[in-house]
Amino acid sequence: MIRSHVSTPVSRRTLLKSAAVGLSTIAPVKSFETTRAFSDPAPRVKGFIDQRENETIRGLIQKFVEQYSLPGFSLAMTYQGELKLVACHGFAHQEKKVPVTPRHRFRLASVSKPITGATLIRLVEQKQIRLDDRIFGSTGWLKEFYNTSNHADRANRERLAALTLEHLLEHTGGGWGNRRRDPMFAHEALGLDHAKLIPWTIDAIPLERDPGESYDYSNFGYCLLGRVIEVVTGKPYQDAVQDTLFTPARVSGVKIARPNPRDRWEHEVHYYQKSSDPYGKSMNVHRMDAHGGWVASPTELMRWMRRIDGFKPPTDILTDESIRRMTTPSSTTLSYAKGWRVNAAKNWWHQGSFPGGSSFLARIADGTCWAIAVNTRSKDAGYTRALDQLPWKIKRAVTTWGEGDLFSQDGQNS
């Protein structure tokens, strides 16, 4: 968990040293970006840092990757809206010996949830929807599914009718948590599309508690939020998020994953997992869209993150009030807001993890943001904590960020 201290369509119907010193210690951009197969997966680090700091960071990454036997690793870090560091290690495709580069996209798993949350907050800001809007019931955004359900359980019917957008954003919907029977991975429902999964879940897995009563992390709740976005905008989820969130932030490289390995996006890595298949039936990442389906490079995530992080420049696409609303914890739990885990130090973050992928996205109150992506999920004890701690160690290795912005080198700085 992020530490508390601060360190230097369904329709209704259906993220001072000179730049010259810092960059002179790194291989040129062209060689760093190569996708030519090679046999040495040593860490490759580029940023506004000196030689000693570069070596320290490479050592930290090497140790982490080797300790957990990771095939590929990518990191991007910003400070006050400028891209200050990118680092890669290992392979995007082990068998073909293709090295990971900053361009490579990874499955984000639950780091998708901040994307869905920020999209809805922007729609609230645009007055297209309200946080207290009902999901089901006679006036709910998804009333069609509610009206066609069998509703054998009267208590469940009443709870469904009381369910709001805010409840789902904060995981206080009253059930459908992943600690018990996660509807998104229920064996008998794996073949159902969204339009069939929703009524099946309503009938097969009743809510256990009244909405707003307690915190229960729910993938299915975010699946519902994706469908709400579709109804509100009249567009497929991916298109709606692109138009509402990414286009205003000048981001175009974040996509919804495709389940078949032959259909991977350009520059998308290959995924690996011991004892399970990251391309298996239960890993229909396309169906996971709003709760776990996005793919992106850490660099592209940082391009988006700097437009919602509350640090200026550049100008955020959300107002200060919307950012405050998005990151204010619920009354039920002080550790989760609306798509973000939060703490009293005003840090926000989210972890992502499933077979074939692990990720981390964080915004730190001192102006630093980072994203990490790996093309596997280690089950070794301490892995999740180590993944969280690594960027903190990297951040502490930097005495002062040099002047400059890596975003400006690709002509897309804004």
- The predicted-structure confidence for 198-221, as pLDDT tens digits, reads as follows 999 998 999 999 999 999 999 999
Q: Cα(275)–Cα(50) distance, rounded to whole angstroms?
A: 42
Question: Residues of 180-199 as b/e, b for ≥16 C-beta within 10 angstroms?
Answer: eebbbbbeebeebebeebbb
User: Crossing angle, helix 320-327 and helix 112-125, to 10 degrees?
Assistant: 130
| 412 or 271, which is more confident | 271
Region 59-69: mean pLDDT is: 96
Q: What is the pLDDT of residue 16?
A: 31
**C-alpha separations of 362 from 75, 242, 305 in Å:** 12, 21, 9
Q: What is the pLDDT of residue 180?
A: 79
Q: Is the pLDDT of residue 363 over 80?
A: yes
Q: What is the pLDDT of residue 14?
A: 43
Q: Cα(100)–Cα(269) distance, rounded to whole angstroms?
A: 8
Percent of the chain at pLDDT > 70 equals 87
- Helix, strand, or coil here: 369? strand
Q: Show the tokens assigned to 45.
A: 């680090």
Give 401's pLDDT tier (boundaries 50, 70, 90).
very high
Q: Is the pLDDT of residue 38 over 60?
A: no
Q: What is the pTM of this model?
A: 0.91
Return all residues near 294 (Cβ < 8 A) that are at least 6 apart: 107, 108, 111, 112, 115, 254, 255, 256, 257
Q: Show the tokens assigned to 344.
A: 């009293």
Q: What is the pLDDT of residue 35?
A: 45
Q: Is the pLDDT of residue 19 over 70?
A: no
Q: Cα(409)–Cα(390) distance, rounded to whole angstroms?
A: 26
Cβ neighbourhood burial of 153 (10 Å; 0-12, 13-18, 19+): middle
| Longest distance between any two alpha carbons in the chain, whole Å | 69
Which of 17-31, 62-76, 223-237, 366-380 is predicted least confidently? Answer: 17-31
Q: Show the tokens assigned to 79.
A: 């400070």
Q: What is the pLDDT of residue 4?
A: 38
Return all residues near 195 (Cβ < 8 A) that are at least 6 apart: 10, 14, 145
Residue 106: phi and psi, rounded to 5, are: -130, 150
**C-alpha separations of 173 from 198, 214, 258, 300 in Å:** 15, 8, 29, 32
Reported as a single tens digit per residue, the pLDDT across 71-113 is 999 999 999 999 999 999 999 999 999 999 999 999 999 999 9
Q: Cα(129)–Cα(330) distance, rounded to whole angstroms?
A: 19
In the chain, the N- to C-terminal Cα span, in Å, equals 32
Q: 57 with 89: CB under 8 angstroms?
A: no
**C-alpha separations of 130 from 46, 161, 165, 317, 327 in Å:** 43, 16, 8, 18, 16
Give 365's pLDDT tier (boundaries 50, 70, 90).
very high
For strands 348-354 and 368-374, give the pairing. Answer: unpaired
Q: Is the pLDDT of residue 30 over 70?
A: no
In 3D, which of 113, 157, 168, 158 has the Cα closest to residue 135? 168
**C-alpha separations of 405 from 45, 57, 387, 408 in Å:** 15, 19, 25, 6
Give 307's pLDDT tier (boundaries 50, 70, 90).
very high
Q: Cα(122)–Cα(80) distance, rounded to whole angstroms?
A: 22
Mean pLDDT value across the chain: 89
Asked if residue 313 has a cis previous peptide bond (ω within 30° of 0), the answer is yes
Helices (H), 219-297: 219-233, 237-241, 289-292
